Structure 1
């Protein structure tokens, strides 16, 4: 469970409210190598994803990913692929 009030938890709650899979897990990560052959380190894990492990939304693809960008991800049901939903912005 993500910390209450965190951006990840709020996004997770919205997805649940609109009827998505109850097992949806929202993760945060940091880009460690830039587009097009990007890599993303998922917070709190040793898992580092490369571009072949990910699908990016049009919004993310239009401007690419830069080193140290913070991103919001979710794992697809195949357990092998992640979707990079967006960058995490400052509030």
Structure 2
């Protein structure tokens, strides 16, 4: 195989084309020209923009919720800036009062079950993406963002 030229992303596209060539599916690089909800992209070799009706987007590139379980071992930290009241306990025989202002957990396990995590890093204008063209270029799947160094 001869040496592949270009950036890392370009080399990946060329390698996929050389090894797994399939005339019905093409891998391309594109630029987001309009962010969701009116998503549009421009594929590098095309003169027209593709609109949201022509695109399928991987869920990881959208704003979405996922269910997670969280386990923290060794050290947990809990803080709050919204303590509304001061708790006061009167000690017996008039020996004074004890007040709870704050508390800390220096070495405790922390577990959250069935939490929801919201991902908000959806596609933005000028993001570079890798797309797969299908159905003779009638549909494109946006697989992921690409980064060029």
Give the TM-score category using the shorter length. Answer: 0.7 to 0.9
**Which structure has the highest strand share of the two?**
2
Q: Comparing both chains, which one has the higher relative contact order based on Cα–Cα distances under 8 Å and sequence gaps of 6 or more?
A: 2
User: TM-score, structure 2 length as denominator?
Assistant: 0.49
- Give structure 2 stretches of 5+ with no counterpart: 64-120
- Give structure 1 stretches of 5+ with no counterpart: none
Regions of 4+ moved over 4 Å:
14-17
Contact 2:57/2:142 (<8 A) preserved: yes
| Counterparts of residues 9-88 of structure 1 (less than 5 Å) | 9-11=11-13, 13-14=15-16, 22-23=22-23, 24-62=25-63, 63-77=121-135, 79-88=137-146
User: TM-score, structure 1 length as denominator?
Assistant: 0.74
Q: CA RMSD in A?
A: 2.4
| Residue-by-residue CA offset, 1:37-74 (whole Å, 9 max, x unaligned) | 11101113212111111001111124321111111111
Question: CA 1:77/1:70 → structure 2, altered by over 3 Å: closer, same or farther?
Answer: same
**How many positions carry a matched residue from both structures?**
87
In terms of Rg, which structure is larger?
Answer: 2
**Which structure has the highest helix share of the two?**
1
**Helix, strand or coil for the counterpart of 1:4?**
coil
